[in-house]
Chain A
Amino acid sequence: MAPETKHLEVTLDTHVESVNLAEEMCVRVAEAAGFNEDECYRIGMSVREGVINAFHYGNQEKPEKKIHLEIELTEERMIIHVLDEGRGFRLTDVPDPLAQENLLSTSGRGIFLMKAFMDEFDVHPGKTGGAELVMAKRLPPLGNPTNNRNGSASNSGAPHQEA
């Protein structure tokens, strides 16, 4: 039997409120998947930064553009895709916010935080021409007392199973 994958897709408006909505949605899925509070915070923050990136840099805050959020839950990982309708960018072109000359920059830390907080992070050209951020976190091992993946977590926030 093929391993079970759960899948959720949402299209969000290019609006500040979408940032909070995406964060809340992913934190609920992460909680239901058994991540502990710290990991949920890190996942929530990463999704937040991904959607801020799409909202501000990708879609340039244009309300007619959309942000596509996709969450996959496999046996091993929670994978999140954030796709914008902008011009796309290359990871290698993003300045290092830890470089001395960038320390006092008022922006440019979002990608760094996603890389720091997730196990995997990459940027691909999106199907709609924008940038697709892909980030993943390994699910906590079953039986670890510091996580919630031991049968006690509610499934109320879990995504539906892919058809």
Chain B
Amino acid sequence: MPSLFATTREYSGITLVDLSGRISLGDGSALLRKTVRDLLDEGRTKIILNLGDVNYIDSSGIGELVSGFTAVRNRGGELKLLNLTKKVHDLLQITKLFTVFDVFNDESTAMRSFD
């Protein structure tokens, strides 16, 4: 069974990616990479990753988040994070990535942040 699932929704030019499972070495990280690359190939550069159902991220997953962030920014867009679980929140805090990503707890606030 895949360790990560991703579904996308689009509103007013903003793409929300609902992720659930683990973003870790192997298929989880690979799926996140492919999802972000596919969105960029389609010209979608305003992206919110909803991590509300992501219960585990390892260093490979962190690397993939950073890679996605950089790839989107290099296309002139923005990648933001929504609904971090406590474990993911703590992980981003100790790795100082909280200072890098825009993080939101509320979907509508995250959407409005692109205005």
Chain A interface, >50% SS class: helix
Closest beta carbon of chain B to A67's beta carbon, Å: 14
Asked if B96 and A106 sit within 8 Å, CB to CB, the answer is no
Interface centre among B62, B69, B91, B99 (most CB of A within 10 A): B62
Asked if A16 and B26 sit within 8 Å, CB to CB, the answer is yes
- Report chain B residues within 8 Å CB of A49: 58-59
> Is A109 in the interface zone, CB < 8 Å from B?
yes
Asked if B26 and A41 sit within 8 Å, CB to CB, the answer is no
Number of interface residues of B (CB under 8 A): 21
B59 touches which of A41, A103, A113 (Cβ 8 Å): A113
Q: Given the known inter-chain contacts A98-B95, A103-B100, A104-B66, please indicate yes or no for A41 contacting B87, CB distance below 8 A.
A: yes
- Report chain A residues within 8 Å CB of B96: 98, 103
> Is B94 in the interface zone, CB < 8 Å from A?
yes
When A and B form their complex, what is the total count of cross-chain residue pairs whose Cβ atoms lie within 8 Å?
Answer: 47
Q: Given the known inter-chain contacts A49-B59, A98-B96, A112-B95, please indicate yes or no for A106 contacting B25, CB distance below 8 A.
A: no
Complex CA gap A110/B58 in Å reads: 8
Chain B interface, >50% SS class: helix
* CB-nearest residue of chain A to B97: A103
Q: Given the known inter-chain contacts A16-B26, A19-B25, A45-B58, please indicate yes or no for A106 contacting B97, CB distance below 8 A.
A: no
Interface residues of A in 1-44 (CB under 8 A from B): 16, 19-20, 41
> Is A48 in the interface zone, CB < 8 Å from B?
yes
Closest beta carbon of chain A to B40's beta carbon, Å: 16
Beyond A48-B25, A52-B59, list 14 extra A-B contacts (CB 8 Å): A16-B26, A19-B26, A48-B58, A49-B59, A103-B99, A103-B100, A104-B66, A104-B70, A105-B63, A106-B67, A106-B70, A107-B63, A110-B59, A113-B95
- Jot down 11 A-B pairs with beta carbons below 8 A, ordered by A: A16-B26, A48-B25, A52-B25, A103-B96, A103-B97, A103-B99, A103-B100, A104-B100, A106-B64, A107-B59, A109-B95
Could you list which residues of chain A lie within 8 angstroms of chain B, going by C-beta atoms? Answer: 16, 19-20, 41, 45, 48-49, 52, 97-98, 103-107, 109-110, 112-113, 116
